[in-house]
Amino acid sequence: MVAGGLIYCNFWGILMFAMQDDCVFCKIVSGEIDAHKIWENDDFVAFLNINPIKEGHTLVIPKKHVPDVFDMEDQHLSQLMIASKGVAKMLKKTLKPKTGRVAMKVEGLEIPHAHVHLITLDNEGDLQISASKDVTNNELKVLKDRIKADV
Greatest extent of the chain over all pairs of C-alpha atoms, in Å: 48
Which are the contacts of 19, defined by CB distance < 8 A and separation ≥ 6?
A: 5, 26, 29, 30, 64, 65
How many CA atoms, within 13 angstroms, populate the side-chain half-sphere of residue 38? 31
Strand partners, 15: 9
Per-residue exposure over 121-150, b if at least 16 CB sit within 10 Å of its own CB, e if not: beeeebeeeeeeeebeeeebeebbeebeee
Catalytic residue ranges = 115
Pairing of strands 7-9, 15-17: antiparallel
State phi, psi for 27 to the nearest 5 degrees: -70, -35
